[in-house]
């Protein structure tokens, strides 16, 4: 078997075109959706991500404001900035790029973002809403993966889904979304014994470990759908995922490439979340802290 390649770039373009249309409708009502992106420090990968997020916003007609702060800024100054953004009516979404410098408490910073503007879906209220089946903002990467599965007509109802990597950003919300869609979900972590025995049960396998090539073809059930969240650089400087693509594609029925798979969808769903925050602001008093 040679797996079908799931084209995240093409799907993200479709999603972004739909966003753009809804942005125009909102603008006609006098509201321009606005995203504030806060970047603390000089982390090279974060700088690239933030630049891409801002560019995608502008292209789809949303307003973006990137606020760059020095790595040694005090936590209280960052919290004050977030509080100001919470009260700024032109800002519908707030994203503080992670990781933050070590002297900062990321949870405290995230919890200071107004839950109604938390377009990352990382706030404890949004995590709780997701867990109880009433999501407000779904974290962008798992949300994008759900869109990909839907567009590929992959049914999760009664399926065995295995997620490798249990982060708050990807693995845990991914498990919740697939559970809500009717899958039997196994969430693996770095302590999982005999990882292959778990992954080989998966009809749908999502890998988000940050370890290049960690899942190989022999760990995949023939015909499984494989979603690779990893973005790593190998020794040759080439971008690779957490799945060994060459061996996996011989076993899977469908697989996401790196690059061009999950990555573009993450940004597209950030636009969706920001647009929906702005749409809600048009009919509701904004949620602030």
The contact set with ligand GUN (CB under 6 A) reads 95-98, 120, 140, 169
Q: Which of 63/123 has CB closer to ligand GUN?
A: 123
117 is catalytic: no
53 is catalytic: yes
Q: What CA–CA distance (Å, rounded) separates 161 from 111?
A: 30
CA nearest to 173, candidates 210, 220, 136: 136
Query: Tokens representing 260?
Result: 């061009």
8 A C-beta contact, residue 165 and residue 208: yes
Cα separation values, 25 from 33, 142, 234, Å: 11, 27, 44
Q: Which of 36/243 has CB closer to ligand GUN?
A: 36
* Minimum distance from residue 65 beta carbon to ligand GUN (Å): 15
Q: Which residues pair with 34 in a beta bridge?
A: 63
30 CB-near residues (< 8 Å, 6+ apart): none
43 is catalytic: no
Query: Tokens representing 250?
Result: 């011989």
Q: Which of 62/248 has CB closer to ligand GUN?
A: 62
* Minimum distance from residue 181 beta carbon to ligand GUN (Å): 21
* Minimum distance from residue 38 beta carbon to ligand GUN (Å): 9
Query: Tokens representing 256?
Result: 């996401």
Active-site position among 16, 97, 242, 244: 97
Active-site position among 16, 53, 147, 221: 53
Active-site position among 16, 117, 118, 120: 120
* Minimum distance from residue 110 beta carbon to ligand GUN (Å): 8
Task: Give, as one character, the DSSP assignment of residue 6.
Answer: P
Q: Which of 159/169 has CB closer to ligand GUN?
A: 169
The residues annotated with a catalytic role in the active site are 53, 97, 120
């Amino acid at each position: 078997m040679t797996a079908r390649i799931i084209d995240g770039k093409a799907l993200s373009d479709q999603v972004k075109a739909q966003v753009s249309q809804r942005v125009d409708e909102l603008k006609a009502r006098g509201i321009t959706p606005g995203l504030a992106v806060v970047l603390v420090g000089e982390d090279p990968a974060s700088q690239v991500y933030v630049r891409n997020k801002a560019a995608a916003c502008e292209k789809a007609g949303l307003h973006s404001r990137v606020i760059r702060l020095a790595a040694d800024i005090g936590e209280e100054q960052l919290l004050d900035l977030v509080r100001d953004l919470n009260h700024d009516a032109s800002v519908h979404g707030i994203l503080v790029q992670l990781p933050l410098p070590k002297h900062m408490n990321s949870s405290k910073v995230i919890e200071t973002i107004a839950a109604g503007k938390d377009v990352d879906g990382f706030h404890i209220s949004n995590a709780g809403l997701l867990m109880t089946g009433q999501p407000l903002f779904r974290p962008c990467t798992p949300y994008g993966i759900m869109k990909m599965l839907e567009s590929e007509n992959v049914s999760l109802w009664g399926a065995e889904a295995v997620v490798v990597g249990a982060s708050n950003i990807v693995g845990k919300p991914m498990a919740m979304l697939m559970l809500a869609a009717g899958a039997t979900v196994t969430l693996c972590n770095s302590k999982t014994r005999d990882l292959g025995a778990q992954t080989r049960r998966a009809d749908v396998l999502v890998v988000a470990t940050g370890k290049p090539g960690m899942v190989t073809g022999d760990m995949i059930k023939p015909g499984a759908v494989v979603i690779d969240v990893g973005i790593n650089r190998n020794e040759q400087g080439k971008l690779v995922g957490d799945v060994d693509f060459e061996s996996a594609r011989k076993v899977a029925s469908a697989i996401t490439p790196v690059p061009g798979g999950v990555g573009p969808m993450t940004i597209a769903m950030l636009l969706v979340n920001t647009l929906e925050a702005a749409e809600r602001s048009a009919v509701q008093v904004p949620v602030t802290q």
